[in-house]
Amino acid sequence: MMIDPATFRKALENATIEEIIKERDILIREIHKYENGKISIDEFCMDPSPDVVYLMNNSYLAELCNLIVEKKEVKIS
């Protein structure tokens, strides 16, 4: 079961910018893995499906990008 994007974001709101960027990089690797067809047969049999995981990872990535921008704005001000 996957969590909704708002809950994912909330879990990382107090993280450092470095921790958030590390999590972003992990998501990007997972997204590229799906896009490049590097999904194992075991992953195709899992629930949720790789398609759903891909869509959720993109939603999580959007939340992380927004969080990075907000954290950067706080440092600039």
Q: What is the DSSP letter of 47?
A: S
Is residue 62 a part of any domain in this protein?
yes
pLDDT category at 46 given cuts 50, 70, 90 is confident
pLDDT surpassing 70 at residue 77: no
Is residue 18 a part of any domain in this protein?
no
Is residue 46 a part of any domain in this protein?
yes
Considering the entire predicted model, what is its pTM?
Answer: 0.88
- Decide: 47 and 14 in contact? Cβ < 8 Å: no
Based on the structure, what is the number of domains in the chain?
1
Is residue 16 a part of any domain in this protein?
no
pLDDT category at 76 given cuts 50, 70, 90 is low
Is residue 68 a part of any domain in this protein?
yes
Which has the closest alpha carbon to 57: 29, 16, 18? 29
